[in-house]
Amino acid sequence: MANDYAAIRDRVEHYFDRTATRAWERLTQSDAKVSKVRQTVREGRDRMRAIMLSRLPEDLNGCRVLDAGCGTGLMTAELAKRGAEVVAVDISPQLISVAQDRLDPALREKVTFMAGDMTDPALGQFDYVVAMDSLIYYRAPDIGAILTNLGARTQSAIVFTVAPKTPFLMAFWGVGKLFPRSNRSPVMIPHALDKLQRHAGDSLMKIDRVVKGFYISECLEYRP
């Protein structure tokens, strides 16, 4: 995993810190005006966040939860509201800064923000891990290795999303590969569940899929 994972991780960090921070900040701010296309993405992400949260207990008091790839902190805030002790990690220091600024002061004692690698063993043990749209750029062997890494330190479940292998996303992926690597953002890699299971095991299962305009994402759950 190391070489492919590290190269993609570094590209994602560069993209969000140098190119996409402002756009992502607006997209995840509910009262900010965005294009119709981005509005569908916003609505799709809101729906997916609710699905993922439904897999966790309403009362998370006493639980330690990793928000792996926390972005601007929308999931982090919801987890903290349920009482969780949240470790919110993102590869982009810029997005971590936005998340810190947005978090309700009443929730700050519940959250530890860190810029860095979501798989770092130094982050410790968790009851649950959530990873919303933070694994979508990685290949199946890398995702399998990430789940194995995090699963060894997770008591209950890892709830995460991938881009499902649909005709639309496969076409989008193919077009993206035509552009020079220096001129494009990290490209989502669509996945079929059975292929991911070959790398992660049969405890990986599909929960739900969200299709909203240009947002197409599938929620999966891994039980260590």
pLDDT per residue over 161-208, tens digit each? 999 976 554 444 443 443 334 444 567 789 999 999 999 999 999 999
pLDDT at position 2, please? 53
- Whether this prediction's pTM lies above 0.85 is answered by yes
Q: How would residue 7 be classed by pLDDT, with cut points 50, 70 and 90?
A: confident
Task: Find the length of the chain.
Answer: 224
What is the pLDDT at residue 180?
Answer: 38
Helices (H), 124-211: 140-151, 167-176, 193-200
Mean pLDDT of the chain: 87
How large a percentage of the chain has pLDDT more than 90? 67
The half-sphere exposure of 41 on its side-chain side, counting CA atoms within 13 A, is 14
Looking at the domain 2-222, which fold is it? Answer: Rossmann fold (3.40.50)
Does position 116 have pLDDT exceeding 50, yes or no? yes
Segments making up each domain of the chain, as ranges: 2-222
- State yes or no: pLDDT of 66 exceeds 60: yes
Burial class, 30, CB count within 10 angstroms (exposed 0-12 / middle 13-18 / buried 19+): exposed
Tokens of 137: 């750029």
What's the whole-number mean pLDDT along residues 100-109? 97
Q: Residue 4: its pLDDT value, please?
A: 79
Can you read off the two tokens belonging to residue 140?
A: 């199946």
3-state SS, one letter per residue, for 14-54:
HHHHHHHHHHHHHHCCCCCCCCHHHHHHHHHHHHHHHHHHH
- pLDDT tens digits for range 136-147: 999 999 999 999
